[in-house]
């Protein structure tokens, strides 16, 4: 449960880098397999296709959890309200479960105003939960002090080689749920010898072992695949467990190496 009382599925489905033309059958497949949480973003350029898949699924709207994100170019109070309307039009939805500030863009200094617009959208009942993505401790401290509200979620790059211990601890201390993006290191961790060995011992796949590591740490996790068999494989993670030594062996792979940009300096779109 999030700090605002809402509930988010711990395992969801990400659609970064899935083109608009391909995304509808991919999301349809994920919903068929059982995923009930979809993570998109305005900048992914596929909100319309995601919305089409949700509508066509016939699954009641309140059984699907939808997340989208505000892009860097839209920071600021009024521009955030406009960007939200545009995302909702593309998604074809009138209610959003979770809206995230995609990146803090510290150099622009506008994430507090942006979050104030999020607070307004929440109080109007248009968004269930409001959160952030790629926020560092220093950004979270500024936001909480100036906006007077703690975000429900911080979605950050997090996988076995980027364990984010300090940030996860800060999130936990402030009842912020940590959500892991690129949970598989964009696929780069799937041939890691430690992970491959654990997977063989358990007769599971490396992707399943990594997703299980996230779940057992308490992370929300949103792996992405466009391949039906992998979409199913990544959801089939609730009938086995990693023991303590396996969890520790995977956590020891932390080298602090990112596959994505550094939030301190990332300002694409400005």
Helix (H) or strand (E) holding 127: strand 127-133
Q: Point out which residues pair with 70 in neighbouring strands.
A: 101
13 within 8 A of 39, measured Cβ to Cβ = yes
| Secondary structure of residue 121 in the 3-state scheme | helix
Question: Given the complex with ligand NAD, which of 125 and 194 has the nearer CB atom?
Answer: 194
CB of 83 to ligand NAD, least distance (A): 16
164 binds ligand NAD (CB under 6 A): no
Q: How many CB atoms lie within 10 A of CB 152?
A: 25
Question: Given the complex with ligand NAD, which of 2 and 222 has the nearer CB atom?
Answer: 222
Question: Given the complex with ligand NAD, which of 76 and 187 has the nearer CB atom?
Answer: 187
Q: Which two tokens stand for residue 269?
A: 């779109």
Distances (CA, A) of 86 to 11, 16, 114, 208: 27, 19, 15, 36
x-or-dash string of contact with ligand NAD, 24-53, rule CB under 6 A: ---------------x--------------
CB of 214 to ligand NAD, least distance (A): 10
Q: Could you identify the residue written with the tokens 């694409």? A: 268
Interface residue with ligand NAD among 24, 72, 155, 178 (CB under 6 A) is 155
Q: Do the annotations mark residue 174 as ligand-binding?
A: no
16 binds ligand NAD (CB under 6 A): yes
104 binds ligand NAD (CB under 6 A): no
196 within 8 A of 24, measured Cβ to Cβ = no
CB of 55 to ligand NAD, least distance (A): 20
Q: Which stretch binds ligand NAD (CB under 6 A): 14-22, 70-78, 88-96, 144-152?
A: 14-22
Interface residue with ligand NAD among 223, 235, 246, 253 (CB under 6 A) is 223
14 binds ligand NAD (CB under 6 A): yes
List residues with catalytic annotation.
Answer: 44
92 within 8 A of 52, measured Cβ to Cβ = yes
224 binds ligand NAD (CB under 6 A): yes
Q: Which stretch binds ligand NAD (CB under 6 A): 57-65, 83-91, 160-168, 230-238?
A: 230-238
Which alpha helices (DSSP H) does the chain contain, by range?
20-33, 47-57, 77-91, 111-123, 137-147, 165-173, 193-202, 206-217, 228-235, 244-251
CB of 118 to ligand NAD, least distance (A): 15
190 binds ligand NAD (CB under 6 A): yes
Q: Could you identify the residue written with the tokens 């009942």? A: 125
227 within 8 A of 184, measured Cβ to Cβ = no
Q: How many CB atoms lie within 10 A of CB 42?
A: 22
| Secondary structure of residue 161 in the 3-state scheme | coil
Please give the residue ranges that form the binding site for ligand NAD (CB under 6 A).
14-16, 39, 102, 133-134, 155, 181-187, 190, 205, 207, 222-225, 230, 233-234, 260
Residue positions forming the annotated binding site:
102
């Amino acid at each position: 449960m999030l700090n605002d009382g809402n509930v988010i599925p711990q395992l969801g489905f990400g659609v970064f880098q899935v083109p608009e033309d391909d995304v509808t059958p991919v999301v349809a497949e994920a919903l068929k397999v059982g995923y009930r949480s979809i993570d998109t973003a305005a900048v992914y350029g596929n909100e319309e296709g995601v919305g089409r898949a949700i509508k066509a699924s016939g699954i009641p709207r309140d059984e699907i959890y939808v997340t989208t994100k505000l892009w860097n170019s839209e920071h600021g109070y009024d521009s955030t309200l406009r960007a939200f309307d545009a995302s909702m039009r593309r998604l074809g939805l009138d209610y959003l479960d979770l809206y995230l500030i995609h990146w803090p863009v510290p150099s622009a200094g506008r994430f507090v105003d942006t979050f104030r617009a999020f607070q307004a959208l929440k109080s109007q009942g248009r968004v269930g939960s409001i959160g952030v993505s790629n926020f560092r401790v220093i950004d979270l401290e500024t936001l909480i002090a100036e906006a007077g509200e703690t975000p429900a979620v911080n979605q950050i790059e997090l996988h076995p080689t980027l364990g984010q211990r300090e940030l996860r601890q800060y999130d936990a201390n402030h009842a912020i749920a940590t959500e892991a993006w690129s949970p598989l290191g964009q696929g780069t961790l799937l041939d890691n010898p430690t992970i491959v060995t654990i997977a063989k011992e358990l007769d599971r796949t490396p992707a399943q072992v990594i997703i299980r590591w996230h779940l057992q740490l308490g992370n929300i996790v949103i792996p992405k695949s466009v391949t039906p068999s992998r979409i199913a494989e990544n959801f089939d993670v609730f009938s086995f467990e990693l023991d303590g030594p396996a969890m520790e062996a995977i956590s020891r792979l932390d080298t602090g190496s990112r596959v994505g940009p550094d939030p301190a300096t990332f300002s694409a779109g400005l």
